[in-house]
Amino acid sequence: MTTIDLSYNNLNGTVPSNFSSLPHLQKLSLENNSLSGSVPSIIWQNRTLNATETLILDLRNNKLLNISGTLVIPQNVTVSLQGNPFCSNSILLDFCGPYNGDAGGTLQLANNTDCPPLACPPPYEYALPYPTCFCALPLLIGYRLKSPGFRDFRSYVDQFKWYITIGLKLNISQLHLNTFSLEAGPRVKMYLRIFPIFDDNNSSRLFNKTEVLRLRSMFTGWLIPDNDLFGPYELLNFTLLADYREFIPPPSSSGISKGALAGIILGVIAGAVTISAFVSLFILRLHMKKHHRASSKRSLLSKISVKIDGVKEFYFEELTLATKNFDNSSIVGQGGYGKVYQGTLADGTAVAIKRAQEGSLQGLKEFLTEIELLSRLHHRNLVSLLGYCGEEGEQMLVYEFMPNGTLRDHLSGKCKEPLSFAMRLKAALGSAKGILYLHTEADPPIFHRDIKASNILLDSKFIAKVADFGLSRLAPVPDLEGTLPAHVSTVVKGTPGYLDPEYFLTHKLTDKSDVYSLGVVFLELLTGMQPISHGKNIVREVNLAYRSGMIFNVIDDRMGSYPSECVEKFINLALKCCQEETEGRPSMVEVVRELENIRVMMPESDSIIRDSVVTDSEKDSRTPSSTSAMKYPFVSADVSGSDLVSGVVPSIHPR
């Protein structure tokens, strides 16, 4: 056993010393629990590690008071203890600094000591592991993983190199990756060197122009295939050294002679003067109206200096062209914030553009502050913000485009290809992970407040991504005495059918409010029903079926065969999320963990054995194995959306 991860499990007691009996242990993750007492140094004292082995002990955010035994830590052992009470002890500050168990470092490459040091003048480099002192000119690429599915990059370096080189159609020996760093998010920043392939006939030791342009196009056009493990990426730089620079020359000057150019200019001026005599008054009036409407906002924008990393500021003209002048045929949705347009940027990138309507506009400074906050959210299960536009009095957000629409679209009867149970479970897990990120990893933490099936989008691979933070609220932060409030008091806003009943009654928004809304989405996935339809509430209907032993009668037949044990556990989880009282609902961490457990139970192949499939004849007699999911079902009055929550106006824009 090399890795043990028991983080976020509410464990208490002391750290067992018998972890020292695991001779191959490389990483022990016990962070974010309630462990107390001392850390037994025997865990690393009894280990004999060679030069290439490492041991990472992550014990952050517990209640540990001391380290028993020696405080001398071997060089290849990392112990991370910040967030524990003993970090106030100055003797132990070395263990309480920023966690760097996978924060970055240098990956050692073998040195070719037989090569003369001056035979490869900069910027040429020896391309290891090639033999015979192969000296070549590399391409330098700055690369960032925006939402990787891991925390320790060292364990995935080799897999990452295979992924990149296969995507680029290169030999793995051409890629050198020897530095990386972990950034907030978490994100992984790295620098790649790509060398020409070793060839005795390649005396120039250079890529040819065609290959340089091909690789540049692959990176800048995001043509490297997506990967569930490594997630989306960001190109930081594509640097051409020395001889490569001539492959992309600066724009050349015109070859028109001065005389010809002068004649053209005179002709243009004469024509312009003639035309302007007829239209100058019209232009002047149009300009004055436009200036009167937008000049104050443009001048304010010019005075605001906000550096926003990771997102682009678009010109109004760019987005006008991308949407065919905001033609109605480009509209793909509309909400409280405004209309959503599908667009295509000049480089061919498909985007979704949310254009604020008049009633949703806010101050420009507040708008840019919200953009800066959004730009820090990076997760594979959140729709990525690509940029914004604040010109011409507009407030527009530019997001990645989700070609497979919303989860609600695929649950409606109009969908020609309904989602299978496995795909629905995958969507549930992805959505839960995205919301967990908002609650625990976003800085500052965020409560979504409007989770619903139409706010969960599906990309080209049907990966679920949470969208539309228009009603979201920042989670509570500690007061001056360090006390963390349990909730945020707000005006009730959200979507009927998804609203947490306790939030509706008390106006107290908590993380469990999002849990309730997500539980309703889970019920939609299982039944295909809408939250409120024809006077029926989905939570009430499913609870009635559950208590009467007829739960499989409300399961959506369109998802085909499914493992009954997995469906039962999913139903239990959904109903627990939808309990009326906050205390009875699981945390989002527990929701993700339970969905992971259900996923592990799923058959590896798409074919499911007959014994585990519920048939129509079994539905009437089958009873769920657990009865603890819901004791007090929430019975809501049959009301229309406008009656339940009137005047829904987002208080924080844009999200």
Binding site membership for ATP: which residues? 354
User: Which tokens sit at 300?
Assistant: 């304010």
- Dihedral pair phi/psi, residue 331, rounded to 5°: -75, 125
What is the widest separation between alpha-carbon atoms in the chain?
94
Contact 134, 126 (CB under 8 A): yes
Burial-class residue 575 by CB neighbours within 10 Å (0-12, 13-18, 19+). buried
Instruction: Compute the C-alpha angle 54/148/19, nearest 5°.
Output: 30
d(CA 39, CA 28): 13
Burial-class residue 426 by CB neighbours within 10 Å (0-12, 13-18, 19+). buried
d(CA 25, CA 19): 8
Contact 258, 165 (CB under 8 A): no
Q: How far is CA 195 from CA 129, 234, 588, in A?
A: 11, 21, 45
Instruction: Compute the C-alpha angle 13/17/20, nearest 5°.
Output: 145
Residues recognised as catalytic: 450
- Dihedral pair phi/psi, residue 85, rounded to 5°: -55, -35
Burial-class residue 319 by CB neighbours within 10 Å (0-12, 13-18, 19+). buried
Q: How far is CA 451 from CA 153, 179, 340, 474, in A?
A: 32, 39, 18, 15
d(CA 188, CA 190): 7
Contact 568, 623 (CB under 8 A): no
d(CA 311, CA 146): 13
Query: In which element (H, E) is residue 508 found?
Result: strand 508-509
User: Which tokens sit at 362?
Assistant: 């806010």
Query: How far is C-alpha 329 from the chain's CA centre?
Result: 29
With tokens 């990525």, the residue in question is 384
Binding-site positions read: 354
What residue type is assigned to position 198 of the chain? F
Query: In which element (H, E) is residue 537 found?
Result: strand 536-537
Contact 422, 598 (CB under 8 A): no
Rg of the chain, C-alpha, whole Å = 29
d(CA 298, CA 100): 44
With tokens 């979704």, the residue in question is 352
Contact 191, 143 (CB under 8 A): yes
d(CA 404, CA 399): 15
3-state secondary structure 64-86: EEEEECCCCCCCCEEEECCCCHH
d(CA 522, CA 520): 5
User: Which tokens sit at 75?
Assistant: 């060089």
Contact 372, 309 (CB under 8 A): no
3-state secondary structure 9-25: CCCEECCCHHHHHCCCC
User: Which tokens sit at 626?
Assistant: 């657990």
* Local structure of 405: helix, strand or coil: coil
Contact 388, 435 (CB under 8 A): no
Contact 518, 594 (CB under 8 A): no
